[in-house]
Amino acid sequence: MLKGKVKTGPDRGRRGRNPAEPEVLPPEVARLDRLADLMDSRFSFLGIRFGLDSILGLIPGVGDAAALGMSGYLIAEAARAGASKGTLVKMAMNSGVDAVIGSVPLIGDAFDVVFKANRRNVALVRREMLRRHEERLDGEVSIG
């Protein structure tokens, strides 16, 4: 069984795959990882990582709605990749918290930089997919 947290962030490499992670994840997960990177941590200023979610949040109303739309797309893609209903609910809660608090002027903008809901959501999907893979391996009978 996997222990600890699955890392998401700058140490994952340019293509979003952790070199220590087995090649068992559906290709959709790599696409989700790229989208989450764009939305939450693509840019850096004074050592602070941020993405389009933080930039869009500066545009009152419209920006937060656009960012929420991208988060919704990420959740829909996770569903297509086979994420469970429980994982999808957690993802929706992360995105909802991000949208509600992110819509508060100034405080919400700072929250967007710190919370990184899309990164959290991709980590949930990745963790589930790796857990499923391990369960399949544990279920196989070794003959020999």
pLDDT value of position 15: 47
Buried b (16+ CB within 10 A) or exposed e, 66-102: ebbebbeebbebbbebebeeebbebbeebbeebbeeb
Q: Is it the case that residue 1 has pLDDT exceeding 70?
A: no
pLDDT value of position 21: 56
Q: Is it the case that residue 141 has pLDDT exceeding 50?
A: yes
Hey, where are the domains in the chain?
Answer: 25-138
pLDDT tens-place string over residues 6-52: 444 444 444 455 554 556 677 788 889 999 999 999 999 999 999 99
Tell me the two tokens of residue 11: 């140490």
pLDDT tens-place string over residues 72-129: 999 999 999 889 999 999 999 999 999 999 889 889 889 989 999 999 999 999 999 8
pLDDT value of position 60: 83
pLDDT value of position 85: 96
